[in-house]
Amino acid sequence: MTIPAHGIIVPLLETAEDARRLVRSAKFPPKGNRGFGSPFAMERFGGVSMTEYLQQSNDALVTIVQIETKQALENVDSIAKVPGIDCLFVGPFDLGNNIGHSIIDNVMQDELKEAISTIQKAAKDNQKSSGIYSTSGDQAREFADQGFNMISAVTDTVALPKALTEALTSAKGSYMHSAATAGRGAISGIGRMVAGE
């Protein structure tokens, strides 16, 4: 938090009291009880006074809670009512596993879809943003069409290996093509030398 962070996402939060503790820990007084910590964070805000820094830091911090257990789902309305919580974020795989409706072969069961709708409704009813993890760009578009405000369209563990594989495959193809072309030219030149041309 002393870097300073402008957003935090907390997994496995299950109750309104958990949410209140999170806000108290993340916000400076009077909204919370976060310690001042390092003075270096204040420098990142561009020469503001300590009072201005504390206020701007509180206002700028986006606090996101993941709703991904049965208990969190049961408490989602009370969690959404907590001042200082900005976004309810759905972890559909963990939520599905925790409520007994796992995602299998990328297929969501109706009960999981209902649970996700319940979370999104709680966010909307309490003027909070709603977020969700998706497994593809197409699924991300579906969630955007459903009204989600924050969508994780791809993770680094998926995107980086795919991009690296594509780049290496492309590079190998270019290399193999140029090596084969160079090889044909060399063989042709040797053939002409042998023929006495």
Per the confidence metrics, is the pTM higher than 0.85?
A: no
Give the model's pLDDT for residue 1.
Answer: 61
Give the model's pLDDT for residue 196.
Answer: 52
Average of per-residue pLDDT values in the chain: 85
Q: pLDDT tens across 22-33, in order?
A: 999 888 888 888
Give the model's pLDDT for residue 90.
Answer: 97
Do residues 6 and 26 touch, judged by C-beta distance below 8 A? no
| CATH architecture of the domain formed by 7-154 | Alpha-Beta Barrel (3.20)
Q: pLDDT tens across 116-167, in order?
A: 999 999 999 999 999 999 988 899 999 999 999 999 988 888 888 888 898 8
Q: Which of 51-65, 74-88, 169-183 has the highest mean pLDDT?
A: 74-88
Give the model's pLDDT for residue 172.
Answer: 84
Name which residue leads in pLDDT, 116 or 56: 116
Q: What average pLDDT does range 83-100 have in this prediction?
A: 96
Please report, as a single letter, which amino acid is at residue 174.
S
Do residues 112 and 91 touch, judged by C-beta distance below 8 A? no
The arrangement of strands across the sheet holding 150-152 comes to 7-10, 62-67, 87-90, 129-133, 150-152
Residues pairing with 10 in the sheet:
65
Give the model's pLDDT for residue 56.
Answer: 79
Name which residue leads in pLDDT, 60 or 78: 78
CA 164 → CA 66, 135, 169, 192, distances in Å?
30, 19, 8, 42
